[in-house]
A and B are shown apart, each in its own frame.
Chain A
Amino acid sequence: MVTLDSLGHRAGARAFVDAELTPYAAEFDAEQRTPPRTLERLAQSGVLGAVVPTTSGGLGCDLRAMSVLHEEVGRACSSVRSLLTVHSMVSWSVLRWAEPDVRDRWLGLLGRGEVLASFCLTEPMAGSDAASVAATATRRDDGWVLHGQKRWVTGGQVAGLFLVICRTDRGVSAFLVPRDVPGLCVTPVTGLLGTRASMVAQVDLDGCALPADALVGPDGFALPTVIAGALDIGRLSVASGCVGLLQACLDASLDHSARRRPDGVALSDHQLVRRKIADMATETVAARLLCERAATLKDAGDPEGTTAVFMAKYFASTAAMRAATEAVQIHGASGCSDGSDVARYFRDAKVMEIIEGSSEIQQLVIAAAAYRGRSSS
């Protein structure tokens, strides 16, 4: 069994991914599920507990190391990387914001991958605008009662713990909700364009009664604390996964263009193919460097880290879409075929431009950060 700390993080992750994910990713996609065996392997490898301290059974990675792990997983399977993304977001939130008793109760389970976690933000009317959530948490003498509906919950089909964003009488707040709480209903969502094995669900909360310590972080002030922090982790994870997607598109295009010889001339000998390869290779490195920069700033606690994460996610996701488009083009009809790896990369890359803040949202935030140094508007 390959563990991530046995060979160094990148080498360990690469060996694990090549053995456990790459051969099966197309099958996961076709069946729209990541099988229990693979989830067990992920837990055993330690990758699920990347951001959890070693004292709680995790790998104790900083964000630079997490970024590397998620890039390597993203190179093989964006669905599994998506599961890691939401699990890491919730694990970090529990570590950073939960009350000590709650943290001790859950962190070991999350770090060892014995419980999977999902992040419940998006709603039918509010989309992913956290300030507009309609789900409610009502204060009672002995705790809270939750009502509402959450959509597009990645990993929701298999999660044992949900971090649910709700509105209280003080504002937007976050709550830890175990799957077995009465009133919680999980409905699988299938037929998605991409990340089809990420086991997305709709989660309905109908009078879910929770103890007082289910509240994670400050009541009414979750937007700039729990939510913004978790989404920073999520965006960095998605950006890193997109670097993996870029690398996969490049590798597949290099292999195919060298092997395929229509009319006796290898595709790789055509200058227009080489131009595509040059762009893919350059953008892969650029995206990786943006992720490294963002993770380094976040690890240092630099307030500029958030804008850096937005830049990394914006560039990496749009570059992955460009690379996947060209990878399909290079593969021709075979790239449009059912079961084609590059067709899967293409479908997954499109999802990356939308989740964790669409490209348009990233552009608005990045531009606002650029302008704020020049004027008060």
Chain B
Amino acid sequence: MTSVDGDIRNFIAARYPTADIGDNDDIFALGYVNSLFAMELVVFIERHFAIAIPNDELRIDNFRTVKAMTGLVERQLPAGGAGR
């Protein structure tokens, strides 16, 4: 059983295994994210959850925290859909 927030946490943890990132921690402010990792996040979210993020949702605030990314994904998923 997977969850949106769990999958996002796992993706970040796979790249920064020693980092302890809470759901509300700003990963940009913590220094983990540069533009390349931000691109990896966009690519991961679109591919993993089989969604296309519209341009008006592609803004930094939607990628700052696990919670924000989870909200972004859930807004794009069909109602009640699990995505993948």
Q: Counting chain B CB atoms within 10 Å of each CB, which of A225, A302, A365 scores highest?
A: A225
Contact B17 A373 (CB under 8 A): yes
Q: Counting chain A CB atoms within 10 Å of each CB, which of B32, B55, B56, B60 scores highest?
A: B55
- In the assembled complex, the Cα of A171 lies from the Cα of B60 at a distance in Å of 10
Contact B36 A365 (CB under 8 A): yes
Tell yes or no: A372 within 8 A of B by CB.
yes
| Chain A minimum-CB-distance residue to B47 | A301
| Chain A binder among B1-9, B37-45, B70-78 | B37-45
A131 surroundings in chain B (CB, below 8 A): 35
Interface flags for A216-246 (1: CB within 8 Å of B; 0: not) read: 0111110111011100100000000000000
Tell yes or no: B84 within 8 A of A by CB.
no
Q: What count of chain A residues pass the 8 Å CB interface test?
A: 28
Smallest distance from the beta carbon of B69 to chain A beta carbons, Å? 13
Given A97-B55, A303-B43, A375 and B35 touching (CB < 8 A)? no
Given A217-B58, A220-B59, A306 and B39 touching (CB < 8 A)? yes
Q: Counting chain A CB atoms within 10 Å of each CB, which of B18, B32, B39 scores highest?
A: B39
Contact B42 A224 (CB under 8 A): yes
- In the assembled complex, the Cα of A306 lies from the Cα of B41 at a distance in Å of 12
Contact B44 A303 (CB under 8 A): yes
Out of A130, A301, A376, name the residue touching B19 (CB < 8 Å).
A376
Interface flags for B49-63 (1: CB within 8 Å of A; 0: not) read: 000000110111000
Smallest distance from the beta carbon of A261 to chain B beta carbons, Å? 52
Tell yes or no: A374 within 8 A of B by CB.
yes
A217 surroundings in chain B (CB, below 8 A): 55, 58
- In the assembled complex, the Cα of A373 lies from the Cα of B14 at a distance in Å of 7
B56 surroundings in chain A (CB, below 8 A): 218
A372 surroundings in chain B (CB, below 8 A): 15-16
Given A373-B15, A373-B17, A375-B18, A228 and B59 touching (CB < 8 A)? no
Contact B55 A223 (CB under 8 A): no
Contact B40 A306 (CB under 8 A): yes
Interface flags for A32-76 (1: CB within 8 Å of B; 0: not) read: 000000000000000000000000000000000000000000000
| Chain B minimum-CB-distance residue to A215 | B55
| Chain B minimum-CB-distance residue to A305 | B43
Interface flags for A92-118 (1: CB within 8 Å of B; 0: not) read: 000001000000000000000000000
A224 surroundings in chain B (CB, below 8 A): 35-36, 38-39, 41-42
| Chain B minimum-CB-distance residue to A130 | B35
Contact B17 A218 (CB under 8 A): no
A218 surroundings in chain B (CB, below 8 A): 55-56, 58-59
- In the assembled complex, the Cα of A318 lies from the Cα of B74 at a distance in Å of 44
B16 surroundings in chain A (CB, below 8 A): 372, 376
| Chain B minimum-CB-distance residue to A301 | B47
B55 surroundings in chain A (CB, below 8 A): 97, 217-219
- In the assembled complex, the Cα of A232 lies from the Cα of B47 at a distance in Å of 17
- In the assembled complex, the Cα of A68 lies from the Cα of B14 at a distance in Å of 32
Interface flags for A122-133 (1: CB within 8 Å of B; 0: not) read: 000000001100
Contact A221 B60 (CB under 8 A): yes
- In the assembled complex, the Cα of A301 lies from the Cα of B52 at a distance in Å of 13
Where the two chains meet, the residues of B that have a C-beta atom closer than 8 Å to any C-beta of A are 11, 15-19, 32, 35-36, 38-44, 46-47, 55-56, 58-60
Given contacts A373-B15, A376-B18, 5 further A-B pairs with CB under 8 A are A217-B55, A219-B55, A221-B60, A224-B38, A224-B39
Can you list 23 contacts pairing A with B, beta carbon distance less than 8 Å? A131-B35, A170-B59, A217-B55, A217-B58, A218-B55, A223-B38, A224-B35, A224-B36, A224-B41, A225-B39, A225-B58, A228-B38, A229-B39, A302-B47, A303-B11, A303-B43, A303-B44, A365-B36, A372-B16, A373-B15, A373-B17, A376-B16, A376-B19
Where the two chains meet, the residues of A that have a C-beta atom closer than 8 Å to any C-beta of B are 97, 130-131, 170-171, 217-221, 223-225, 227-229, 232, 301-303, 305-306, 365, 372-376
